[in-house]
Structure 1
Amino acid sequence: MKFIQFLFLVFPLGLFAQQKNLNYVESSAGLANPAWEGGKTELEFADMNNDGHIDIVTVGDHGNPNVGTSHHGIEVYFNDGSGNWSVQMSGNFGYGGIAIGDVNNDGFWDAGYGIHHNYSSTDLGDQILEVALGDGTGTNWTPWDDNLATNGEDWGMFGTDFADVDNDGDLDVGSISFGCCAGVHVYLNQMDGTWQQSFGFIGGNSNSRFVFGDINNDGNSDFIIGHENGIVYFGDGTGNFSPAPAGLPGPGGIGAYGPSLGDVDNDGDKDIAYIYNGIEVWGWDQDNETWTDLSGDLPAGTNFEATQLHDVDADGNTDLFAFGNGTCTLWLGDGSGNWTQETSFTTSGASDCQAFRVGGDIDHNGIADVIMLAEGGSWPSYQNYLKCYKESSPADSLWIRGLFPKGGERFKSGSVQFIDWASEVPVGYEILVRLLFSSDGNTGGWNIIDDYLANSGRYQWTVPDVYSDNCYIRLL
Structure 2
Amino acid sequence: MKNFTVPFRLWVGLMLLPFLGYSQAKFGEVQVIQLDTLASDVSSFTYIDTYTDQLVDIDGDGDADLVKLIGYLRASDTVQVYELVWAENIDGFSTGSECNPLTTPLHVIDTFEDVTFTKTGPFVADLDDDGDFDVLHIQANGDLVWYSNNGSGAFSSSFSIAQVGLKPYYLKFGDLNSDSHLDIVVVTGKDGVYWVPNLGSGQFGSLTQITSQIILSNEDIITEIVQIADFNQDTYLDILVPSPYDTSAVWYPNTGTGTFQSPVSVYSHLGSIDDNITTHVMDVDQDGDIDIITSEFTRYQGVADTMYVYFLENTDGAGTFGSPVQLPYPSDYVGAYGRFFDVDIDEDGDLDLVGGGATNYGLVYFENIGGSAVFDTVKTLIPSDTYNYSAFPLMGDISGDGQDDFYFYKPPLSFLQAAWYQACTPSYTNELVGHWAFDNCQDTVLVNLVGTQQGELVNGASFDLGYANQGLEFSSSTEQANLHDSTWTLGNNDAVSYSFWVYPQSANGNRETMLSRNTNGTSLILALTNLRPIYFLGGTNGAAWTFAGNALTQNAWNHLVFTYANGTLTLYQDGVQTYQQTGITGNLNFGEGHHTLGLRYDDQKPFLGRLDEVRFFNTELTSTDAAEEYSRVAFAPAECTYTPVAYYAGDDCNADTAFDGVGAQDGLLVGASKGTGYLGTGFSLDGNDHINLGQGASLDFTDAFSVAYWVKTTMTGNGVVLTDNYDGSNFSYTVFVQNGLARLGLGNGIPVASNYGIPTAVNDGAWHHVAWTYGEGTVRGYLDGQLEVTVNNIPGAILPNTTTDT
TM range (shorter): 0.3 to 0.5
Greater gyration radius: 2
